[in-house]
Amino acid sequence: MSYAIFGGSFDPVHLGHLFIADEVLHAFGYDRVIFVPAYRSPHKDDRPSAGEEDRLVMLQAAIADRPEFTIDEFELEQRGVSYTIGTVQYLLDRYPDEPNPGLIIGDDLTHNFSQWREVKKLQQLVDILVAYREGAIDTGQVGRYKRIDNAPLPVSSSEVRARIRSGRNFRYLVPDAVHAMITAQSLYR
Ligand code: ATP
């Protein structure tokens, strides 16, 4: 089973996330994309706004109709800051028949990529797949990579949260099931 790993806070998951995951399946032919929600991201100063259980349930709802999309709760169970290298090593142990997974990142994350923990080892273990987001890749930092040819959707979790906080519409930025859950439970208010 070939797979690509997609880590993030998913706070909440939005259509930008789902679109690049789908593009990776179509363009590179992986059997699966494994979403790995972070308990706490090493790239962010702030804690996630929603609790880990709510973020997980929203993600489950968002991908419920897609058997090729799965979730691994490894980082949530670690309950701390998880580094990608640790998650990759865990997944390689878990799926020893697939030695060469993909790793999906937005191009915004390439700017400090050389600072990632054990970056040389990480670059050997995965194929780095970079999605268009801001548009520019810091190639010097990321090394060898494949470009995901996504149409950049200018949506972010922070934009969704800001809209909810100020009572603005956010309906078509997230999947319907996620919109329904946020509304019913008054998340991000
Ligand atoms: P926030 O606005 O809270 O920082 P985010 O929208 O960046 O959140 P994350 O869950 O932190 O969402 O992102 C996980 C991964 O998805 C990162 O690699 C990020 O670059 C990528 N990503 C998020 N949104 C998009 C998008 N619209 N297009 C391409 N890549 C994206």
Best residue among 156, 158, 173 to mutate for probing ligand 1's pocket (most ligand atoms within 8 Å of CB) is: 156
Q: Is residue 23 within 8 Å of residue 148, measured between CB atoms? A: yes
Q: Which of 124, 157, 154 is nearest to 43 (CA)?
A: 157
CA atoms within 13 A on the CB side of 91: 33
- Has residue 130 got a pLDDT over 90? yes
Please give the pLDDT value at position 5. 98
Residue 106 alpha carbon to ligand 1 centre in Å: 6
SS (H, E, C) 53-121: HHHHHHHHHHHCCCCCEEECCHHHHHCCECCHHHHHHHHHHHCCCCCCCEEEEEHHHHHHHHHCCCHHH
DSSP category for residue 40: B
pLDDT band of 99, cuts 50, 70, 90? confident
* Domain segments of the chain as ranges: 3-152
> ω before 99 within 30° of 0 (cis)?
no
Name every protein residue with a CB atom under 6 angstroms from any ligand 1 atom: 8-11, 16-17, 20, 105-106, 108-109, 131, 133, 152-153, 155-158
Residue 98 alpha carbon to ligand 1 centre in Å: 26
Residue 17 alpha carbon to ligand 1 centre in Å: 7
Cα–Cα distance, 48 to 153 (Å, whole number):
22
Q: Whose CA is nearest to atom 13 of ligand 1?
A: 8
Tell me the per-residue pLDDT of 24-83, one tens digit each, with 9 for 90 and over: 999 999 999 999 999 999 988 889 999 999 999 999 999 999 999 999 999 999 999 999
Look up the pTM and report it: 0.97
Residue 157 alpha carbon to ligand 1 centre in Å: 7
> In a 3-state reduction of DSSP, which class is residue 133?
coil
Q: 87 or 47, which is more confident?
A: 87
Q: Give one word for 33, left, alpha or beta, with left for phi > 0 and alpha for psi -120 to 50.
A: beta
Residue 117 tokens, joined: 């923990």
Residue 8 alpha carbon to ligand 1 centre in Å: 7
What CATH number labels 3-152? 3.40.50.620
- Has residue 101 got a pLDDT over 90? yes
Q: Whose CA is nearest to atom 20 of ligand 1?
A: 106
Residues in the chain: 189
Q: Whose CA is nearest to atom 26 of ligand 1?
A: 16
Tell me the per-residue pLDDT of 142-167, one tens digit each, with 9 for 90 and over: 999 999 999 999 999 999 999 999 99
